[in-house]
Amino acid sequence: MKVKNIYLGTIKEGTTYYTGEKKHQGKTIVENAILIRVTKGAFVSIADYRNIFDKLRTRKYYFKNGFSLGGKSPLMTYYSYEPGSPFIDEDSLKHYPSDKKHISVKKLIKNAKKQ
């Protein structure tokens, strides 16, 4: 997996949100979560992955159903679409620290379990 698609960020649970003003507030669930960018603005937490097959299932879900949130969707975005839904704090995002261009999902899962 390309390191440029891997981020560290804070996952929050939505408490207050305004769709017009894009003001989204929430309580912190996980800080410094390892996140994989599936597409622009859509992320999946590596903590939800158990193996490489979960990565393939997530990508299959995305390509089959498009960018949808809620229900069985593992995708998170920068805003809460309803109270209690998880979202990514955009200001907390930073690239995963690595001097390599690629990293294995297996290694990411192992690093996530250490946190």
24-83 pLDDT, tens digit each: 678 999 999 999 887 788 888 887 766 555 666 666 655 555 544 444 556 788 877 777
Question: What is residue 102's DSSP assignment?
Answer: B
Q: Which residues of 57-87 are buried (b: 16+ CB within 10 A; e: fewer)?
A: ebeebbeeeeeebeeeebbbbbbbbeeebbb
DSSP for 15-73, please give it: EEEETTTTEEEEEEEEEEEEEEEEETTEEEEGGG-SSHHHHHHHHHHHHHH-S--STT-
CA dist 63 and 12 (Å) reads 25
pLDDT at res. 19 = 61
Q: How far apart are CA 92 and CA 79, in angstroms?
A: 13
Span 104-110, average pLDDT = 79
pLDDT in tens, 4-41: 889 999 999 888 766 666 666 789 999 999 998 877 88
List, in sequence order, every residue forming a beta bridge with 59; answer none if it has no partner: none
Separation in Å, CA 11 to CA 25, 44, 68, 79, 109: 11, 10, 18, 11, 17
pTM for the model stands at 0.74
- Mean pLDDT throughout 106-111? 78
